[in-house]
Amino acid sequence: MNKALLIIDVQNDYFKDGKLPLNNADEALNNIVKLENHFLSNNQEVIYIKHIKHQKNADFFEVNTYGAEIHPHLSVPKNSTTIEKQFPNSFYETNLQDILTKKKLIN
């Protein structure tokens, strides 16, 4: 079975000047970037998942806002897989399961 790194909800609203900044977000981001670099340099799969809220004036991750975008310190290569979710569960009403199965990352 192959390996994949899932990078979930690393979006601007969780960082300084975002709508919902988290404690130690920059420290966590540094570790995520190291993992991302490791996977990419070893030609391993990286899948980016972002939470998007389509309600106007959403509390955070509002569609088509800077806060909903994936943090700019992540590479997100053009050929990478990015999944949009509307719920906290990355599998609920997304194609994540199908992608993982197709790429032989799960049975």
Domain ranges within the chain, ordered by starting residue:
4-102
pTM for this one? 0.94
pLDDT for position 24: 98
Domain 4-102 has CATH 3.40.50.300: no
Residue 39 structure tokens: 């996977």
Cβ-proximal residues to 64 (8 Å cutoff; 6+ apart), any chain: none
Q: Are the CB atoms for 53 and 86 separated by under 8 Å?
A: yes
Q: How far apart are CA 93 and CA 77, in angstroms?
A: 24
pLDDT in tens, the chain (107 residues): 589 999 999 999 999 999 999 999 999 999 999 999 999 999 999 999 999 999 999 999 999 999 999 999 999 999 999 999 999 999 999 999 999 999 999 87
pLDDT confidence of residue 63: 97
pLDDT score, position 2: 82
Write down the pLDDT at residue 1: 55
